[in-house]
Amino acid sequence: MLKEIGIMEVGGFRVGHAQDVQAATGCTVILCDRMSPAGLDVRGGGPASRESQILNPVAAAEGINAVLLSGGSAFGLDAAGGVQKYLEERDIGFDVGVTKVPLVSQSCLFDLVVGSKDVRPTGAMAYGACENASYEAPAEGNVGAGTGCSIGKYRGMARAMKSGFGTCAFQTGDLKVGALVAVNALGDVYGADGEPMAGLLNQEKTGLSNTLEEMFSDAEGKENLFTGNTTLGVVVTNAAFHKTQLTKIAGMTHNGYARAIRPVHTTADGDSIYALSLGDVSGDLNLVGAMAARAMEHAIRRAICSAKSAYGLMGWGALPGKKENS
């Protein structure tokens, strides 16, 4: 039987946020306690990433020190330098003889249209996220990489909704698997009942429309599906796997994206999922992949429910029949 646990109960890592609330952008860092095997699966058509090739199963690197999720689109890729600086100062990284090189993988989402297009996460912001990193449960909603997140953008920002950052984890026996995610999708987010829970608003903004149905009504399609998207996720487990196995787990976790977000993996998204092995527990790959997909699905919904109205975008709690906390 699966039981839900706190994300930090997985163990072996710290999480830190930093954000510029006024500019509506930020970043979230996952710092591994030790160099950890990692895999990556990218399904979206427009990713922005750094040090992704070292996660290729045929590349030499056996593990990484950190993952950075960031706003700023490709402009935000400079932020990883701040994580490297933080780790280098603490003599953490891959030993190359003359020094230790911190291995930091990063992916960025597009939030330039929510706040200021000229302000992006920087090395200084990411360094601050590292300083903020702890073993305490991370904040969710409009924080870190979730600060400028939005969903339901098929008809542009005027009918989009606010999204954010979410987490979820499960345990069975000694095995623990969790997910962290910044939800910034073109599509809508669906609840466990299979119905849309947030996303594209109707023209009156009194409730939800349906992105898939509106897409289906556009028989010839749209030339530009609004390139302001990308959902970024990280799977963490205390099970021992090598990066080839973790790449498969990351791929299986995309099932969680597909269950919770529709449409997903479009050319206008850069949907990416990292998987990190942080412990030495024996675990079956297929079980962990299934648990990871379940955790990711729940984390996506938590990102929606925890996001508050901001930047002219309605949060889930502001929909009719909901009650948004101040």
Name the residue among 254, 238, 249 with its Cα closest to residue 296: 254
> Measured between alpha carbons, how far is 326 from 311 in angstroms, rounded to an integer?
15
Query: Residue 268: what residue type?
Result: A
pLDDT, position 255: 97
Read off the CATH number of the domain in which 100 is found. Answer: 3.60.70.12
pLDDT, position 326: 43
pLDDT, position 267: 82
pLDDT, position 228: 66
pLDDT, position 222: 60
The Cβ of residue 193 has, within 10 Å, a number of other Cβ atoms equal to: 7
Judge residue 118's burial from the number of C-beta atoms within 10 Å of its C-beta, 0-12 exposed, 13-18 middle, 19 or more buried: exposed
pLDDT, position 169: 98
Q: Is the model's pTM score more than 0.85?
A: yes
Q: Residue 152: left if φ>0, alpha if ψ -120 to 50, beta else—which one?
A: left
- Residues facing 49 on adjacent strands: 107
114 assigned to some structural domain: yes
Residue range(s) defining the domain that contains residue 267: 3-316
262 assigned to some structural domain: yes
37 assigned to some structural domain: yes
126 assigned to some structural domain: yes
The arrangement of strands across the sheet holding 64-70 comes to: 13-20, 25-36, 64-70, 104-108, 48-50
323 assigned to some structural domain: no
Instruction: Name residue, tokens 């990284």.
Output: 93
Query: Residue 65: what residue type?
Result: N
Beta strands (DSSP E) in 91-164 are: 94-95, 100-101, 104-108, 150-151, 161-162
The Cβ of residue 171 has, within 10 Å, a number of other Cβ atoms equal to: 18
Tokens for 166? 């979410």
pLDDT, position 325: 52
> Measured between alpha carbons, how far is 271 from 109 in angstroms, rounded to an integer?
9
Q: How many distinct structural domains can be found in the chain?
A: 1
pLDDT, position 221: 61
pLDDT, position 283: 95
322 assigned to some structural domain: no
233 assigned to some structural domain: yes
- Tens-digit pLDDT profile for residues 188-213: 999 999 999 999 999 999 999 999 99
> Measured between alpha carbons, how far is 133 from 128 in angstroms, rounded to an integer?
9
- Ranges in the chain, pLDDT < 70: 219-228, 323-326
14 assigned to some structural domain: yes
